[in-house]
Amino acid sequence: MNAPENRPEKPVQPPRWARWLLTRLHPAETLEEVEGDLDELYTYWYRRAGKTQATLRYLLNVVSVLPPFVRKRHTQKDHSPLSNRHPDMLRNYFKVAWRNIIRQKTYSILNIAGLSIAMASSILILLWVQNELSYDRFHRNSEQLYRLICSAGDFRAAVSPAGMGSGLQAEMPEIEASLRLSKSSTHLFEAGGNKFEEKRVFFADSNFLQFFSFDLLQGNAKTAMRDPGGILLTEEMAEKYYGTEPALGKIIRINNKENFIVAGILATSPSNSHLQFDFIIPMAALAKSNYDLRNNVWDRFNFYTYLQFNKNSSSVDIQNHIPRIQQIYKRHNSDGKIDFQLQPLTSIHLHSDLQIDVPGHGNIQYVNIFFIVALFIIAVGCINFMNLSTAHSARRTKEVGMRKVVGATRFQLVGQFLSEALIVSFISLLIAVGVVYLFMPVFNTLTEKKLAVHLQDGDLLIKLVGIAFITGIISGSYPALFLSGFRPVSVLKGKFTFAGGSLLFRNGLVIAQFVVAIVLLIGTAVVYNQMNFIKNKNLGFEKSNLLYTPMTGDLWSKLAVYKDALRQNPLTSNFSVISELPAALISGTIDVEWEGRDPNSQVVIPSIDVDENFIDVFKMKILTGRSFSAAFKGDSSNYMINEKAMQVMGMNAGNAVGKRISFGGTKGTIIGVVKDFNFKSLQYVIEPLVLRLNKWGGLVMVRTQPDNTEATIKVLEGINQELNPAYPFTYHFFDKNLDDLYRSEQQMGRIFNLFAALAIFISCLGLYGLSAFMAEQRTKEIGVRKVLGASVTGVVALLSKDFLRLVLIAIVIASPIAWYTMNRWLQSFAYKIDIQWWLFVLASLLTISIAMLTVSYQSIKAALMNPVKSLRSE
């Protein structure tokens, strides 16, 4: 039986209307080719899935090959050069760039290391700057919130009277809300078997949660502050006192006296808030015992007042309300000679050079300085890249010549070299981000911040990519223009030489690098010397071996017994009871009268309450008269003053004792004048001061015997446990409090040290690369010189002198810049060093030494090379 014959199947044709559509709409040049392809596809799908499916797919294919989905095919091939934006050209750029990076490993490592360190340094600084500028901007109405501050002459303070906030709101419809906040205070808290003294405690009006935008995690925001017996605490404090148990509704005891109910749990106060708190207590609780609050006074300045203006008010409009505020104050206190200002909430952290303020403020001057430092460091990294790129350009002259011969335009060559710079820049960015992650804990310790890099943050990612892109463009721009400008005829004939202009520009870049490094180095030295000056300055008293403990609980009512117990032990017998530390006095008044006072004068005079031992314990000196003494019963209404007060009052050492003055409405007689001593930060000049006899208590300051500090602390602890067992014993060292006054300056010094060292290191990386290249370029010259008898020392000197000249020029330029900059910084201190000439000499010698050490390695290596090897080709 014969097998059936395999005959070819008859092709199936698509519908005529579909083919008509194709012929009408598709370009004629390619119609025949496309039509055949679609017919084959139609036949295939017809046999596999049926007519309906084949027709549907045919229509989709017809649409896909219609304009604008397909471009017309040109009848002639276009042989014009590819555009810089063509994918093939871009791919070629990056392929060649990557090959060059791999081929020149040492040069690439130096470039990437310099840019990575510069980027990492700049990212860290910019994160710090961004954090400083973000303070208090998280509040919903931050642009409408202002703080009422005051001034009397040169004395500027952040406080205002208790009655002003509500009084201004009642008379000024532009003010939507007002809020009073007490100064922070220390209280003993007890709950859940835990008892601690807490310092970050504030009393606030009942609208605290509506006025500010602090997150309330638990509780009712509308009612939490209405009950005087309620209290808000942060989640950190809730965990501290109650552990894992729910804290809301629990009782917490304050000062062993009053019980409060936890009415709300707040999120820990944001690190970028000028208010750092652990507990917020309703102001109504303080009003029970506070005279200012009960009477809404307008003449005593003890509270922070915040005002919220309506959203229709611009910042200019708001500042224009100050004269009206002044008029309202005058109506309530006609005798007051105080000027008021409105401070934007977002300006408090960086623009508060005020007294009697919440602690922890920054300084806009430091923000500006470090922002400039960040730009300088990234500039140093870019200069490195430019220098090394132009120095190594001789190796690529023939490549550029060949590219130009085969038709490459200068614009295309610029694109090629910029792509190399961008690749290096983005590789550096990746390494820099890793370095930032690695050193962020160290930087946070240094700055006392809680900074972090969140790459999932789109804004941050855009900024980082922007930094890398701008860095790549800037650092690659000059090398790209320089390399693309080579003349192919000269290059390919081997007659190419570097123009003097390019060498001059490269030397200028080296000088710029070292100018930045030297300015930072001198700045570091000045900051260190100023801090050392502050540490060692004679403040008018002996600050060492002083420790103090606050009087708490029952000690106030047992003051006489407490003093007797201290006197009986030789380790604690040298003590004084004072109202507050003579390191940062915050009290002051203009209510001071003396004979011959100008009624128009605006003098704020601080005061401190001291006992009979104060002068001896602090080892101060009496200029004239005597100190307080238990032998004189009338001293309770007498005063001591300092030299400055004596001068302000128009007195002298011969007539001051016995003069009558009135302080705060209490009249008395001056019994002594104490020599001036610094009772505030050295950023302030010594002000007039009145000393009164302490009748109540406050702090017990003990001068310890050398090497007996620990024993003294144990004695004080024993006395405290015996007389005041309900309160934990705490103590502090006075010199530590003095150091804390300059914490921000110390931070600035540490940051300056770090980034000055990094700037010098980056500069030396570039110098190392340049010296290696110059030694390589002069290999034959060195060989000839050695054959003719040149010594190693002579060759090293020959190779080093050009770099030494550049560093010396940088020193000449950097010195006046550093002097001007640091002199401006020192103006913020009333007591400061003079910038000595030897600081500049020391910084210069250090820079020269580091630069010469960097250059000398390559110089010595070249000088020791066998001249036979270098001259073999000759």
pLDDT at 741: 82
**If you count them, how many residues does the chain have?**
874
Read off the pTM. Answer: 0.78
Is the separation of the CB atoms in 845 and 521 below 8 Å? no
pLDDT at 73: 45
The predicted-structure confidence for 618-668, as pLDDT tens digits, reads as follows 999 999 999 999 888 888 889 999 999 999 999 998 899 999 999 888 899
Residue whose C-alpha is closest to residue 278's, from 380, 403, 184: 184
pLDDT at 93: 67
Long-range contacts of 729-736 (CB under 8 A, 24+ apart): 729/549, 730/197, 730/549, 730/550, 731/547, 731/548, 731/549, 732/547, 732/548, 732/549, 733/546, 733/547, 734/543, 734/546, 734/547, 734/548, 734/581, 734/583, 734/701, 735/543, 735/544, 735/546
pLDDT at 5: 45
Pair type for strands 592-594 and 575-578:
unpaired
State the Cα–Cα distance between residues 867 and 81, nearest whole angstrom: 48
pLDDT at 1: 42
Residue whose C-alpha is closest to residue 624's, from 588, 666, 582, 659: 659
β-strand partners of 194: 191
State the burial class of residue 185 (Cβ atoms within 10 Å of its Cβ: 0-12, 13-18, 19+).
middle
pLDDT at 276: 94
pLDDT at 391: 64
The predicted-structure confidence for 4-63, as pLDDT tens digits, reads as follows 444 445 567 788 777 777 777 777 666 776 777 777 778 877 877 787 778 877 777 777
pLDDT at 129: 92
685 Cα distance to chain centroid: 27
Is the separation of the CB atoms in 559 and 723 below 8 Å? no
What is the H or E stretch that residue 837 is in?
helix 837-863
Dihedral angle of Cα 617, 619, 624, 630, to the nearest 10 degrees: 10
Residue whose C-alpha is closest to residue 148's, from 292, 356, 311, 350: 356
DSSP characters for 697-729?
--EEEEEPPTT-HHHHHHHHHHHHHHH-TTS--
Mean pLDDT, 10 residues at a time, over the chain (874 residues)? 47 76 72 75 79 79 64 46 57 73 79 88 91 93 93 86 93 94 93 89 95 94 92 95 92 92 94 94 93 90 94 86 92 83 94 85 86 86 78 64 68 76 88 92 88 83 87 78 61 50 70 85 88 87 92 87 93 93 81 84 87 94 92 87 93 91 90 93 88 90 91 94 90 89 82 82 77 70 74 76 86 92 86 89 88 78 67 56
Long-range contacts of 393-396 (CB under 8 A, 24+ apart): 393/479, 393/482, 393/483, 394/496, 394/498, 394/777, 395/104, 396/100, 396/483
The predicted-structure confidence for 244-273, as pLDDT tens digits, reads as follows 899 999 999 999 889 999 999 999 999 999
What angle separates helix 322-332 from helix 164-171, to the nearest 10 degrees?
Answer: 120
Residue whose C-alpha is closest to residue 640's, from 689, 606, 700: 689
3-state secondary structure of 625: strand
Residue whose C-alpha is closest to residue 377's, from 8, 695, 121: 121
pLDDT at 18: 76
